[in-house]
Structure 1
């Protein structure tokens, strides 16, 4: 497994698959969401806050009150966010933002994942897996000899249309500023069986190289997809190299759209490209901030997506540990190329 941050010379701190499983099992006991399952959401939020604090991070709860937001519904169902549009009159939620004492001032790298699930689904993969990686990354980075310029973010209301991430992107881009962002979106489901990896309609024409790589592997769902843009290409390659050292395959997929509002508009017009902005990295792209999305491709691989069967036993925790190792390394070595102007 790849070398990770070290607490002292000669002593590595490595991801713990058992600890990752413990996080997922707690978070995925039940569906959680601010609107339909508020008590469960509060329990999940308290768990995350306590785990981050125990790892030595300073945690800020940042409430928000968002009005007239275009988003989606969080009702369960095996459909993508973009196919469930809704206008929200008012949404009140909260993000958790954590930093290490003594970390350098200035622009940071954000590592984030959303905490909520859709109604009716315990959301082990979507997205307790991503939150578990954030929590284990917290433990790894807290052991570094020098606190890195990394902020950990756990977002609210992703299933309602990236609401929490939009709020956090605005706040963090103002203070302290953001160099880059790594989004963990459904990162724990893998399959070595041929034909388990599907592609969205129109994907092969728009992304022939990535599609050919999936076909050459027999359509196995044994990789992590690393979605990036030109601004984050170097970071994507850094993640791929770190993952390879941790015996994990990273398949790079470049979104051809530019960062900023134009990229958002193109995604609305070209649905296959729109799939690449279906999580909490998109608000950072829309602000011109380099970002990665790490994903097992959700409903294009996992048959339990947004269903009651999205349970902890369906995940691969050894591979999830590899995802964590590569994420921690990339966060602390984020390349300067493509940094926010």
Structure 2
């Protein structure tokens, strides 16, 4: 295990004071870190990818300005293609999980076949890197499933060139429902819920198929969500049985409108729901997390911080509003089965829902049309949500993986903090430049300090671990950083 000399307490405290006086915290550059100093607040740097990296005032110290390659990708996302996808899916009449699977024009089977054909068309531009499959199984009777029913996910896998075993998943559910969740024959166009999310997935598959990514990205249109998250649960369980290295999963569910039920609009905000103490933890693990104050530092919360770092900017045109909950009251999305299997996952959804047009049967009352129809979608808004997803997925796939085995040594009483972690797997080493240690006050939400510690697996900061929260992130040779790993106590 290699070792780095510590960052001095005087340096830490002086830099924090300077940053506080400036009203913003700058990200320390490699040269400044080697000299034991922070860069001035708001300092400009240049990444090897060629982007001018000046974080906006008040931004997290870990914010990552989008490089030119990412900006070019984001510009290709087309709201007109997204609109065409939403309208085509709505035109199948219903996509209820229990609807016809062999009708060529109406029902979930027709929608499945169309999505499959679209993903195969996108895959042809990948040079053989993207494969497309139907992932099917028979769900036995259960709540909202009265008889054995075949549930099919449509999955496109864009294999990474450097770290193919590291996986990132993005999904939307293509099944729909009417007001009566068991009505499998009535119209349920499901434009917002969730043709909008599927349109995001298909557009991401189209623009990313032509890119060579470091890690593997999976684009999934899943079924059975309205009946009980069945398709996503099957997918997550398959990954678990394969011991797959799924380092992040996003679901896009109800991302079609920027208008609330009172008519107010918020076209530049998307909510991102991220749970705190992981539901997959044992009571003993949860007790340890609470004992060190790590309730706000779950893998899902670190993932949400990462999304804000790379996607809350002018390139996406969006504000990412992180909500510290697993999901909304009385609701649940396809990220939950992944969370239950200890995979970091989060849910994107629109800023405020219009319940008058959600899960409503298509009808006209007093001259007003109701129902989950394309007419109530904001297609440029959906495109911006797609850009947020694209920024997150591209950055995750091009960065090294999240550091593993991060620990904070607690065997001795000391005012220093010793951190250790594992070096990345062999597949990541070619693109690994080193690591950064980050920290923040316990009352802060975002990371406020960053120090480049080099290509090491141990670092000591002359600052009390009792007073602040620490983390470790990996740095790629291209300048793209991984999500932060929160260290567990080690005696």
Partner of 1:282: 336
- Aligned partner of 1:60 in structure 2 is 133
The alignment status of 1:304 with 2:357, answered yes or no, reads yes
Per the alignment, do residues 11 and 25 of structure 1 end up closer, same or farther by CA in structure 2, a change over 3 Å counting?
A: closer
Structure 1 position 329 matched with structure 2 position 391: yes
Residue matched to 1:46: 113
Alignment of 1:180-199 (within 5 A): 180-191=248-259, 195-196=262-263
Q: Scaled by the length of structure 2, what TM-score is found?
A: 0.53
In structure 2, do the counterparts of structure 1 residues 312 and 94 end up closer, same or farther at CA, with 3 Å as the change threshold? same
Alignment match, 1:263:
none
SS of the residue corresponding to residue 208 of structure 2 reads helix
Q: Is the 8 A contact 2:303 2:483 kept in 1?
A: no
Q: How many corresponding residue pairs? A: 283
In structure 2, the gaps of 5 or more residues are 1-64, 124-129, 179-186, 276-297, 363-370, 397-481
Q: Distance in 2 between matches of 1:111 and 1:10?
A: 20
Is 1:96 the counterpart of 2:96 in the alignment?
no
> Which structure would you say has the larger Rg?
2
Residue in 2 that maps onto 1:26: 88
The 1:94/1:286 distance shift into structure 2, 3 A limit, reads same
Q: What is aligned with 1:244?
A: 313
Structure 1 position 326, deviation (Å): 1.1
Q: Are 2:168 and 1:109 aligned?
A: yes
User: Cα gap change, 1:62/1:194 in structure 2, threshold over 3 Å: closer, same or farther?
Assistant: closer
- Would you tell me which structure has more helix in proportion to its own residues? 1
- Tell me if the contact between 1:4 and 1:329 (Cα under 8 Å) persists in the aligned partners: no
Q: Kindly indicate whether residue 302 of structure 2 is the aligned counterpart of residue 234 of structure 1.
A: yes
Match of 2:246 in 1: 178
CA deviations over 1:63-88 (Å, ceiling 9, x no partner): 11122444x4xxxxxxxxxxxxxx65
Corresponding residue for residue 204 of structure 1: none
Distance 1:89 1:284 in 2: 26
- Note closer, same or farther for the CA distance 1:4–1:97 as it changes in structure 2 (3 Å cut): farther
Cα RMSD for the two superposed structures: 2.9
178-187 or 328-337, which deviates more: 328-337
Q: Work out whether residues 13 and 140 of structure 1, in 8 Å CA contact, stay in contact via their aligned partners in 2.
A: no
Equivalent pair of 1:281/1:292 in contact (CA under 8 Å):
yes
Partners of 2:251 and 2:333 within 8 A in 1: yes
Give yes or no for contact 1:181–1:291 (8 Å, CA) kept in 2. Answer: yes
Shift of the 10–183 alpha-carbon distance from structure 1 to 2, 3 Å rule, reads closer
Aligned position for 1:79:
none
* Higher RCO structure (Cα 8 Å, ≥6 apart): 1
Residues 247 and 65 (structure 1), Cα distance of their counterparts in 2 relative to 1, 3 Å cut: same
